[in-house]
Amino acid sequence: MGSISVLFLLFMFLLAVDVKAQLNHSKIPLGSWLSSIANRTSWVSPSGLYAFGFYPQDKGYAIGIWLRNQPNNTIVWTADTDNQPVSSKATLNLTSDGKRLLLRTEHGEETSIAVFPRYYSSTPADSASMLDSGNFVVYSNSSEVIWESFNRPTDTILGGQNFSYDNADLVSRSDHSGRRYRLRINSKGNLVSYPDNSTYATETAYWSLDTFYGSDVTLSLNQRGLLRLIYGSSSIIISANNSYPGEKETTIIYRAMLDSDGIFRLYSHHFWGNSSNTSSKMYSEWSALRDQCEVKGFVA
């Protein structure tokens, strides 16, 4: 009887440890690592909708964040739009000293994806998380966010994310011709798109939404799909929510993206089902231009 009691208590202890581990699975401790070829290729958000880590690109791998919809994942952030893909033996490490998110290639070359502390904080990192918002964040030991991907958009902004004059340009991923495009808020507060490597002159822009409010304008996309430019208490609505959940729908995610053809668009992703059986569908909600023929410099 005593042996049974001991075994029962041991079982309950192990069960409690396992439950606790599941509850805390979104916390990434210092020293954690990913590999492009191991079973541990990404860190997944609690709902399973987003992942951060290695994804296939060309003949190698890139580092980014993607929306895990079916049949294909949708990339929403990349660590560096200019770097070439890395080999299949690369690793990514949240260093034990809390100072870097470090990429190391099979040849021993090292690149810092992020460095801590940054800006206003003098505290090194303590942990990280991939959040259900699509934001990858790094915390100090006081749970202060000292780095986040939402502050460094690449070609996409997600629901709940803002884009301002202080951010680097949104840069489209290359299309079949190798051409890229840039989207920025200029010093007049206008949202303007340009071909890559062109001057930021009025005559080189192929699309703009004019506000003339000044550089304090912010492009905002909320989690209900409202895309607008905000200046103080004023706002210009670019696109309102056109999507409504169906009977069995559980989640709608919005993203605004500078596509590879140079056109800024708003998409919605609709998810049905549960964690073990999820279906999804993507819709185009709004487009800055009707088609690519309106893009300056485009040759059919």
Helix (H) or strand (E) holding 126: none
Provide the H-helix boundaries in the chain: 2-23
Task: List, for residues 37-70, the tens digit of each pLDDT value.
Answer: 878 899 999 999 999 999 998 888 999 999 987 6
Q: Which residue has the tokens 């206008």?
A: 190
Backbone angles phi, psi at 202, to 5 degrees: -55, -40
pLDDT along the chain (300 residues), means of 10: 44 37 64 89 94 91 89 88 78 94 90 76 84 95 91 95 92 73 91 86 85 89 94 90 60 93 92 71 90 59
Q: Which CATH number fits domain 26-151: 2.30.40.10, 2.40.480.10, 1.10.1040.10, 2.90.10.10?
A: 2.90.10.10
Reduced to 3 states, what is the DSSP secondary structure of residue 108?
A: coil
| Identical fold, 26-151 and 153-300 | yes
Boundaries of every domain in the chain: 26-151, 153-300
Q: What is the mean pLDDT of the chain?
A: 82
Q: What is the DSSP letter of 69?
A: -
Helices then strands (H, E): number in the chain? 1, 24
Q: pTM for the whole thing?
A: 0.84
CATH code linked to domain 153-300:
2.90.10.10
Q: Which amino acid is at 241?
A: N
Dist. CA 272–CA 133, nearest whole Å: 18
Task: List, for residues 71-103, the tens digit of each pLDDT value.
Answer: 789 999 999 756 778 888 899 999 999 999 999
